[in-house]
Amino acid sequence: MNAGKKISIQSKVDHPDEREDYFKQVMEDYGTELLKLAYSYVKNQETAKDLVQSTFVSVYLNLSSFNGEASIKTWLYRITANKCKDHLRSAYVRRVFPVHQMKESLHNENQTETALMDGELSEWLKACIFKLPVKYREVIMFYYYQELSAADIAEVLDIPESTVRTRLDRARKKLAPLIKEEELFYD
């Protein structure tokens, strides 16, 4: 089955016109999802847009090396997640965004979160999810919002599937008291 994907994508990237059309389709199909993913890491809309643009540049330059072992979706998610993690580890972020400014930025960007996440999650649940540490937030977002399986999440994050299941379990346990706290606040 993967061999069919490989041939299909390879034939599309060998012809310049088909490569352009295929790339445009990939951007249309996954652009919004990748923006939501990037935002879940960096919590800044402009930075998320830059990271997604960087992802698409990488995809365009490396499309011919995509071997079809994974789905195009998981490949895109993995590239985006890695770019976000690299950005968060960069010296620039540590110098320019001290912790107290990041907390203020998070508070001020609540409207951006709302715009990027569609109506499937209520406001209070989104607020709870965004309080989780990144390693738990990312698995929750992939599993429940992007509807990826634990195996797909493991592939995207390049971690063992058992680690994904453990993080999901821990994230749920951390999320439960936050949900209770938010429910009391909004009642």
| Cα dihedral value 6, 7, 9, 15, nearest 10 | 150
* Cβ neighbours around 129 below 10 Å, total: 22
Is residue 37 predicted with pLDDT exceeding 80?
Answer: yes
Position 103 confidence tier, pLDDT thresholds 50, 70, 90: very low
Please indicate, yes or no, whether residues 144 and 109 belong to a single structural domain of this protein: no
User: Regarding predicted confidence, which is higher, 2 or 104?
Assistant: 104
* Higher-confidence position of 97 and 61: 61
Cα angle at 63 between 60 and 65, to 5 degrees?
140
- 95 and 182 share a domain? no
CATH no. for residue 37? Answer: 1.10.1740.10
Contacts of 102 (CB under 8 A, 6+ apart): 43
Q: Are residues 105 and 157 in the same domain?
A: no
Q: CA-CA distances (angstroms) from residue 158 to 24, 98, 150?
A: 27, 29, 12
How high is the mean pLDDT of the chain?
Answer: 76
User: Of the residues 71, 95, 115, which one is the last residue of a structural domain?
Assistant: 115
- pLDDT above 80: residue 184: no
Residue 9: its pLDDT value, please?
A: 52
Whether residue 142 has pLDDT greater than 90: no
Does 166 share its domain with 180?
yes
Last residue of a domain, one of 83, 115, 147: 115
Domain that holds residue 167: 117-187
Same domain for 109 and 123, yes or no, is: no
CA distance 140 to 169: 10
pLDDT value, residue 7: 35
- On whether both 14 and 41 belong to a single domain, the answer is yes
15 and 82, same domain (yes or no): yes
Identify whether residues 75 and 20 lie together within a single domain.
Answer: yes
Query: Which band of pLDDT confidence, cut at 50, 70 and 90, is reported for residue 54?
Result: very high
Residue 139 has pLDDT above 50, yes or no: yes
Task: Specify whether the CB–CB gap between 129 and 116 falls below 8 A.
Answer: no
In the DSSP assignment, the letter for residue 145 is I
What is the number of domains present in the chain?
2
Judge if 177 and 124 occupy the same domain: yes
pTM: 0.63
Q: Which of 25-34, 79-88, 141-150 has the lowest mean pLDDT?
A: 141-150
Question: Domain of 125: which CATH number?
Answer: 1.10.10.10
What is the average per-residue pLDDT within 168-174? 92
Same domain for 48 and 130, yes or no, is no
Backbone torsions φ then ψ of 84, nearest 5 degrees: -65, -45
86 and 28 in a single domain? The answer is yes
